[in-house]
Structure 1
Amino acid sequence: MFVDKAKIYVKGGDGGDGLVAFRREKYVPEGGPAGGDGGKGGDVIFRVDEGLRTLMDFRYQRHFKADRGIKGRNKSQHGANAENMIVRIPPGTVLIDDDTGEVLADMVRHGQQVVVARGGRGGRGNTRFATPKNPAPEIAENGEEGQERYLVMELKVMADVGLVGFPSVGKSTLLSVVSAAEPKIGAYHFTTITPNLGMVEVGDGRSFVMADLPGLIEGAHEGVGLGHEFLRHVERTRIIIHVVDMAGSEGRDPFEDWVKINQELELYNAALAERPQIVAANKMDMPGAEENLATFREQVQSERPDIEIMPISSLTRQGIQELLYRAAGILDAIPQEVHVEEVAETTERKVYKLDKKEEDNSFTITRDNEAYVVHSVKIERMLKRIQMNSHEAILKLARTMRHMGIDEELRKRGAVEGTIVRIADFEFEFVEGSSYY
């Protein structure tokens, strides 16, 4: 079974907590601070592995969480950094942030990798907070939380040749004839609803990968029918074999079908109009096919004289070998890789970039009955990091709030001695003199 789309959750490891510790050595009665920093949490890294072909594994494992860093130690020893989590993905995978819709990376080359969730920094131990005024601080930080996000993974088939055409024109039959693939074949529309891949041996030592892609209908570029589910795979193919029912089954017009399919491809991605294309005039064993082919050649040549038309019959195997030789010849003459827009090279900068709101001093204050509720990204982030189990930590928080102007604003709003001030999950009493208990 082919799986080309999956939604997963990734989380970088939390940083290790910093430690409050002091030197305890003989003949050193007043040892200074000796608490080490916590280690960094592991990153979640996606790496391309050309041995993978589907996203099947991501149907069964949807959560990927890296290990957290080791807590700081005494004697000023740093905790160890956690190992990064490496997740293998198939080439052709596009990574999209589910919340923002931003394309994080377009993974096409073997070994290419990108950080999708960074680990949190380790918390600082009390050694870091020593100053001439306070040479023995009893304050340390918790490790920073690792980045987390939901990702949508879309796999675009990495095939050399893509078979396109309206439903029931014989694409699956053609693939089954030229390769060992066993696609589902039936006498009804949309027998193929997921791409089928097959390795084609030309016969002279050359080979290539062919993909039987789901049938198109009008409006596919807007998502109608299988729409984008189909078109995303066409982008990856190096050449297109456009299969046309030359017998005109079900009253269809071969030329009209050819025009409509090309229009859908161009409307979805203009670059597809420039992709090398061979028209496989299929079902030549059926009555009326020869007459239709003559008319079809004239019509196509008037619009696209560069298009090569090759009559075939998947049933009798007429013209099949010639088609394979021609496809292999074109593949030899064009670049090995189709150019796709890559954003993976800049992804790490995007992932590591901090939100500017986390660094500013903006805040808002609301009322909840008798309590004042302070909303501040900077203060809430500080409360997550600082270990609020010492008087020094509370004083540090109070100083920060005073410098930001929160104390003054609370007084303007009517806060008095003993008023409850709530920030995130913490509650404090407002005390004149700008201290919180």
Structure 2
Amino acid sequence: MFIDSARIYIKAGDGGNGAVSFHREKYISKGGPDGGDGGKGGDVVFVVDEGLRTLQDFRYRTRYKAENGQNGGGSNCSGKSGEDLIIRVPPGTLVRDEQTGRILADLVKPGQRTVIARGGKGGAGNQHFATPTRQVPNFAKPGEPGQEIWAILELKLLADVGLIGFPNVGKSTILSMVTAARPKIANYHFTTIDPNLGVVNIDAENGFVMADIPGIIEGAHQGVGLGHEFLKHIERTKLLIHVVDISGSEGRDPVQDFEVINDELKKYNPVLYERPQIIAANKMDVTGAEENLEKFRKAVEPLGYKIFPVSAASNTGLKELVYYAAQKVKELPDTILVSDEENEVVYTAVEEEPFKVRKENDVFVVEGSWVMKLVRSTNFDNYESLQYFQRAIRKKGIVDALESMGINEGDTVKMYDLEFEYFR
């Protein structure tokens, strides 16, 4: 079965905790702090493996976690960084953040590597907190948590040319005649459930990959008839060959069919609609095709489309079609779904609000990634560490925010697992 999408959980490794340690040596009773730093957590890295063709493996394993960094030790020994987790995917894999819908990576080239989730930084050991007035720091920082997301993987075929059109117009037959592909062919709608790929060899230097995209029907942009699953596979193609049943053998109007398919493309993705198209007027061997072809030319040629009369069943006109397609493929630029510039935007950390304050019944709740890191890094049993915490929340503006919301002495404040009474 062709598996073209998957949902997986990704967790980078947590950073190791910094160590609280003091130098101990014979004849030196009060050595200075020498707690080492925690190691960095491992990243989750996606790598393109050209030997893979589907996302089948992700059906059976849906959770992936990189190694945590080791904790720091005494004698200024830093913890070992966690190993990166390498996840191999087939060429053409698109990675999205399920929560935001943002594209995190467009993985196309063999060997391409992209960090999808970054490991947490290791915590600083107590050696970093010694000052002339604080010579015995009894606290260190814990490691930061690694990034975690639920990711949606989508496999969009790496084909130069896509065959589009209504079901049962002869796309699979054309593919079988011009390539070595052997798709299942039968006389009923939606014969092709999975996209088929084939290589068209023109000569030693010229050729291209052709994809038989499952039949598009009216309403496909809304998901009708598996529309979304079908349409997404033609997003990478440079050129579309629009196959039309010019004979009207099933009582259909070729001009209307052509307009309906293009309308679906436009509604699904306007960029896809603008992709270059040539038309294969198929089933020219059927009675009535010549008359329909003339009507079709008058309606469509003025729009700038090039039409090739063909008969896939009798292998007529296909040579001219593929030679022209090969020339166009050479002239057209590669289709990139996400540019390097867009990737830079995706991977640049977004400056989020450092904290949010809300009230739950009589409790003032303070939340935010900065707040979580502060709480995790504070040793509330140590006076100096507690003083640092109080200075930090005042400097950040949390105290002002609480007072602006009407907090009074003795009211409860909650910061994740920490609860305390407020006093000025």
Contact kept, 8 Å, 1:114 with 1:347, in 2: the verdict is no
2:295 corresponds to 1:295: yes
What is the correspondence of 1:48-63 to structure 2 with a 5 Å cutoff? 48-63=48-63
2:411 corresponds to 1:424: no
What is the aligned partner in structure 1 of residue 20 from structure 2? 20
What is the aligned partner in structure 1 of residue 349 from structure 2? 353
For these two proteins, the number of residue pairs brought into alignment is 421
Q: 1:361-400 CA deviation, whole Å, 9 max, x = no partner?
A: x5445456xxx45424344331223345545444443454
2:322 corresponds to 1:324: yes
What is the correspondence of 1:7-406 to structure 2 with a 5 Å cutoff? 7-202=7-202, 206-304=206-304, 307-335=305-333, 337-338=334-335, 340-347=336-343, 350-351=346-347, 353=349, 355-358=351-354, 363-364=357-358, 366-367=360-361, 372-377=363-368, 378-388=370-380, 390-401=382-393, 406=399
Report the 3-state secondary structure (helix = DSSP H, G, I; strand = E; otherwise coil) of the residue aligned with 1:332: helix
Distance 1:351 1:321, change over 3 A: closer
Report the 3-state secondary structure (helix = DSSP H, G, I; strand = E; otherwise coil) of the residue aligned with 2:353: helix
When normalised by structure 2's length, the TM-score is: 0.88
Equivalent-residue separation in structure 1 for 2:101 and 2:19 (angstroms): 39
Distance 1:262 1:141, change over 3 A: same
Equivalent-residue separation in structure 2 for 1:11 and 1:301 (angstroms): 54
Equivalent-residue separation in structure 2 for 1:234 and 1:28 (angstroms): 73
72-81 or 131-140, larger mean C-alpha shift: 72-81
When normalised by structure 1's length, the TM-score is: 0.86
Distance 1:289 1:420, change over 3 A: closer
Q: 1:1-52 CA deviation, whole Å, 9 max, x = no partner?
A: 2222211111111001000000011222210100011111112122334443
Contact kept, 8 Å, 1:117 with 1:351, in 2: the verdict is no
Shift of 1:259: 2.4
Equivalent-residue separation in structure 1 for 2:173 and 2:190 (angstroms): 13
Equivalent-residue separation in structure 2 for 1:355 and 1:303 (angstroms): 48
Distance 1:219 1:133, change over 3 A: same
Q: Give unmatched runs, 5+ long, in structure 2.
A: none
Output the aligned Cα RMSD: 2.9
What letter matches 2:418 in structure 1?
A: F
Structure 1 segments of 4 or more deviating over 6 A? none
378-387 or 39-48, larger mean C-alpha shift: 378-387
Q: 1:108-152 CA deviation, whole Å, 9 max, x = no partner?
A: 334443322111111111111111111011101111001111111
Equivalent-residue separation in structure 2 for 1:205 and 1:393 (angstroms): 69
Equivalent-residue separation in structure 1 for 2:98 and 2:340 (angstroms): 17
Shift of 1:103: 2.3
Contact kept, 8 Å, 1:16 with 1:38, in 2: the verdict is yes
Equivalent-residue separation in structure 2 for 1:104 and 1:354 (angstroms): 14
Q: 1:235-287 CA deviation, whole Å, 9 max, x = no partner?
A: 21122111111221210111221222223323434444543333222122222
What letter matches 1:21 in structure 2?
A: S
Contact kept, 8 Å, 1:105 with 1:344, in 2: the verdict is no
Equivalent-residue separation in structure 2 for 1:385 and 1:76 (angstroms): 19
Shift of 1:98: 0.8
Contact kept, 8 Å, 1:106 with 1:344, in 2: the verdict is no
Contact kept, 8 Å, 1:107 with 1:344, in 2: the verdict is no
Equivalent-residue separation in structure 1 for 2:83 and 2:345 (angstroms): 20
Shift of 1:69: 1.1
Equivalent-residue separation in structure 2 for 1:138 and 1:316 (angstroms): 85
Contact kept, 8 Å, 1:244 with 1:257, in 2: the verdict is yes
377-386 or 253-262, larger mean C-alpha shift: 377-386
Equivalent-residue separation in structure 1 for 2:4 and 2:175 (angstroms): 20
Q: Percent identity at matched positions?
A: 50
Contact kept, 8 Å, 1:39 with 1:81, in 2: the verdict is yes
What is the aligned partner in structure 2 of residue 6 from structure 1? 6
Equivalent-residue separation in structure 2 for 1:87 and 1:331 (angstroms): 32
